[in-house]
Homo-oligomer: A and B are copies of this chain.
């Protein structure tokens, strides 16, 4: 009655474990209406590791991701004179590139420059008012982008900032920002949640 389903079951098994790696053999056995040894056999034939190894692999991934998340996506500050000028660097890693183009996605370069602009503002809360950005050439994997920003003008809460990003001295991005700086208290009035 339920025979010759080996192939189909094994395909499903592969999918299900891929989507949910934290299922025990017993749970899988119940799911497929088959005995635990059958599931073990299937896993063996498919080269799928046991639950605890799978869990560990996923956990390791999490630890890497966590480390990645903590390393600011928008670059590391090299020097900063608040209200004056500053520099930051960004290493282009594989998570930032469009695979086809082998070039960094524009918003990473924008993010670096924008974050530098934020850091330059002498205020608790900085918002991007407007930005005018030119992408001068694509940036590739493993290149080191150094952004250099300067405050050109300031009137009260309004700041004019220029940023140029370079790879090996060659300009890759240039832009002008107009930003607003507030005290956090003044801003917090309009919060949600």
Contact = CB atoms under 8 A, between A and B. Distances in A.
A102 interface: yes
A156 interface: no
Given A58-B62, A141-B192, A130 B133 contact: yes
Interface in A53-73: 55-56, 58-63, 65-66, 69
Nearest to A138: B127
A188 to B, nearest CB: 8
Interface of A: 21-22, 52, 55-56, 58-63, 65-66, 69, 74, 98, 100-103, 105-108, 110-111, 114-115, 124-136, 138, 140-142, 184, 187-188, 190-193
What are the 8 A-B residue pairs with the smallest beta carbon separation, nearest first?
A62-B62, A107-B111, A58-B59, A130-B134, A106-B128, A59-B59, A101-B125, A128-B135
